């Protein structure tokens, strides 16, 4: 991964930024993800990648990795001790192209 794929136009960036700033939106995302995604001008492949938790594709489309990391925490957990660790395990597994939770090191 390098910056040559980075695309600051992706609507997924706004989705992550908005969820960081709005607890109600985070709650809605958990309850009815599709309704939240409907409100963003996501490209079809961008939306599909979010729905399938396919971070490799999201990054290939140009998602900023820091916001990708935060998206993984909205999905899998954010607390220091457990949730955030699980989120980063699953994120890295997705980026490495396998389904195991524990990343290759």
Partner 1 sequence: MGQIVFAAGAPHAPAIVGLFDRAPADSQKVVKDTYTAITQELKAAQPDVLIVFANDHLANSRITLYPDFLIGTAAQHSGPHEWFQEWIGCRDYSAKGNPDVAKALFQGMTRRGIRMSSREENLKFDDNISVPVVMTDLDRTEITLVPVLQNCTVPPFPSPEKCYEVGTALRDFIEKDLPKDMRVALFGSGGLSHEPGGVKYYKIDEEFDRAFLDLCVKGDHKELLKEITVERLEEAGIGGTAELLSWFPVMAAIGERPGRSFGYTGWPSFRCGVGGVIWDLEAKQ
CB of 72 to partner 1, least distance (A): 7
Query: Cα dist. 89→26, 65, 66, 76, 77 in Å?
Result: 21, 14, 15, 10, 11
Place of tokens 């910056």: 3
Q: Any contact of residue 73 with partner 1 (CB under 8 A)? A: yes
Q: Any contact of residue 62 with partner 1 (CB under 8 A)? A: no
Q: Any contact of residue 8 with partner 1 (CB under 8 A)? A: yes
Q: Any contact of residue 32 with partner 1 (CB under 8 A)? A: no
Considering the complex, state which of residue 17 and residue 32 has its C-beta at the smaller distance from partner 1.
17
Q: Any contact of residue 92 with partner 1 (CB under 8 A)? A: yes
Query: Is 60 exposed, middle or buried, given 0-12, 13-18 or 19+ CB atoms closer than 10 A?
Result: middle
């Amino acid at each position: 991964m390098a910056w040559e794929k980075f695309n600051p136009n992706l609507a997924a960036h706004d989705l992550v930024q908005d969820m960081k700033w709005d607890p109600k939106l985070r709650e809605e995302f958990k309850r009815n993800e599709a309704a939240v995604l409907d409100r963003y001008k996501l490209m079809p492949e961008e939306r599909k990648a979010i729905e399938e938790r396919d971070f490799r594709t999201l990054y290939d489309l140009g998602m900023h990795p820091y916001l990708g990391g935060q998206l993984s925490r909205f999905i899998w957990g954010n607390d220091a001790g457990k949730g955030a660790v699980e989120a980063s395990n699953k994120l890295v597994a997705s980026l490495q192209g396998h389904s195991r939770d524990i990343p290759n090191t």
